[in-house]
Homo-oligomer: A and B are copies of this chain.
Amino acid sequence: MSIEVLIVDDDELVRIGLRAIIDAQPDLRVVGEAADGIEVPSLVARHRPQVVLMDVRMPGIDGIQATRRLLAAADPPRVLVVTTFANDEYVYDALRAGATGFLLKRARPAEVVEAVRVVARGESLLFPAAIRRLVGAYGRQGVDGLRAARLTEREAEVLRLMAAGLSNPEIAARLVVGVETVKTHVGNVLAKLGVRDRTQAVIAAYESGFVVPAG
């Protein structure tokens, strides 16, 4: 049985391109297209795709809202957010909305199909480029005025300790705060990085260069 995909993008050219790439694969199949977020719920209900390729910027209901609504329903599909720029301001919102991963429009066809297969398996798609942007600025000591990093200082500190292998109680002891506080920060970090658990957060930290192997 093939992986069924729904394409949501207001640009017809993009839809055609994605459809061509996906339908060229024997194990993937495009079951529908939408040009607006408003059509998405009904299409998903009808076709029950495993994966939804969702554009972020669309007139009317944008990809963020559409994603949020989709995931509120029972047994939702995986949402793979499609964006033009890795530094899109909406990237963070999409993660919070529950998107499983990202896909740049300039990604090569092989990357597109692989991304679809990965999320269809139910695995998170850690996207170094996007994550690096989120964490950005911090990695190499750069606390420059940018604040481009969506992680707050506290969250970045917690992530570092997570990447050092500390448990929540240990982090709490180190920072001299309550475990509940640590849990909140950890939860925020997971949401912002778009990952499922602390292990994936640590992987993201390494892959993004946020922490570097001592070797």
Q: A residues within 8 Å of B by Cβ?
A: 121-124, 126, 128, 162-167, 170, 173, 195-200, 202-203, 206-207, 209, 213-215
Those 4 A-B pairs whose CB atoms lie nearest each other, nearest first:
A165-B200, A199-B199, A206-B206, A206-B213
Task: Return the contact of A215 from the options B128, B167, B214 (Cβ within 8 A).
Answer: B128
Residues A128 and B214 in contact in the complex (CB < 8 Å), given A123-B166, A199-B198, A202-B199: yes
Instruction: Please indicate the chain B residues that have their CB under 8 angstroms from the CB of A126 in the complex.
Output: 165
Q: Which residue of B lies closest to A161 (CB)?
A: B123
Contact B206 A123 (CB under 8 A): no
Contact A124 B165 (CB under 8 A): yes
Beyond A167-B197, A207-B214, 14 additional contacts (C-beta under 8 Å) are A123-B164, A123-B165, A123-B166, A123-B170, A128-B215, A162-B199, A165-B195, A165-B196, A167-B196, A199-B199, A199-B202, A207-B213, A209-B213, A213-B213
Q: Which residue of B lies closest to A195 (CB)?
A: B165
A213 to B126, CA, bound (A): 12
A199 to B195, CA, bound (A): 14
Instruction: Please indicate the chain B residues that have their CB under 8 angstroms from the CB of A170 in the complex.
Output: 121-123
Q: Quickly give the copy total for this chain.
A: 2
Q: Which residue of B lies closest to A203 (CB)?
A: B165
Instruction: Please indicate the chain B residues that have their CB under 8 angstroms from the CB of A128 in the complex.
Output: 214-215
A147 to B75, CA, bound (A): 45
Kindly name the residue among A122, A173, A199 whose own CB sees the greatest number of chain B CB atoms within 10 A: A199
Instruction: Please indicate the chain B residues that have their CB under 8 angstroms from the CB of A213 in the complex.
Output: 206-207, 209, 213
A194 to B128, CA, bound (A): 29
Instruction: Please indicate the chain B residues that have their CB under 8 angstroms from the CB of A122 in the complex.
Output: 170
